[in-house]
Structure 1
Amino acid sequence: MSQHKNSHSQNILAKETAKNDKPYFNLKAANHQIIGTSQMYSSTSGRDNGIRSVMENGNTSTIKDLTAG
């Protein structure tokens, strides 16, 4: 299992706003490629809490693929 090294750096968590005005964020690799996109939030404070959660909890040695059935 690989360890996610990018989730602790705020520099690569980019705050965005969708066309429907919903805030979200992208997780970017060191080369600035988007490697993850958050859910759509109902408020910017919700998005900011999501970013904080990723920064605090995103560094893990276990990756769970929830898309595989």
Structure 2
Amino acid sequence: MAGKFDLKKSPSGKYMFNLKAGNGQIILTSELYESKSAAENGITSVQKNAGDDSRYERKESKRGEPYFVLKATNGQVIGKSEMYSGSSGMENGIESVKKNGPSAEVADNT
């Protein structure tokens, strides 16, 4: 099963998306956008940037948990991963975004 973007409206009325792997697990979560078109532009940006390893910033939470953010060419954060228990899990998450992001279909649940 292929990955997909789950585009939805948040309880606050803003728009966001999750990139899900083929197994349905969320691998990347967007920021909140004011408009649906801005969220769709965010999805396009993930599709363009997901395959480029230099767009990923590997980070660590205050509790020492690894996670990553995906950035656009202008340096703006497009999406953020979940917290992982170890760096190998984080690297697997990045590989999953690289694999699923460029070709994932969009499921419009707004």
TM-score, reference length from structure 2 = 0.54
Q: Deviating runs (4+, > 2 A) in structure 1? A: 60-66
Match of 1:40 in 2: 83
Identity %: 40
**Higher relative helix content:** 2
Compared with structure 1, are the counterparts of its residues 21 and 61 closer, same or farther at alpha carbon in structure 2 (3 Å cutoff)?
Answer: closer
Greater CA radius of gyration, 1 or 2?
Answer: 2
Alpha-carbon distance in structure 1 between the residues aligned to 2:65 and 2:84: 6
**Higher relative strand content:** 2
Alpha-carbon distance in structure 2 between the residues aligned to 1:49 and 1:61: 17
Q: Which letter maps to 1:31?
A: N
Match of 1:55 in 2: 98
Structure scoring higher RCO (CA < 8 A, sep ≥ 6) equals 1
Unaligned runs of 5+ in 2: 1-39
Unaligned runs of 5+ in 1: none
Compared with structure 1, are the counterparts of its residues 63 and 22 closer, same or farther at alpha carbon in structure 2 (3 Å cutoff)?
Answer: same
Alpha-carbon distance in structure 1 between the residues aligned to 2:99 and 2:84: 19
Task: Give the count of matched residue pairs.
Answer: 67
For residue 5 of structure 1, the aligned residue among 48, 51, 56 is 48
Q: What RMSD over aligned residues (CA atoms) do the two structures have, in Å?
A: 2.0
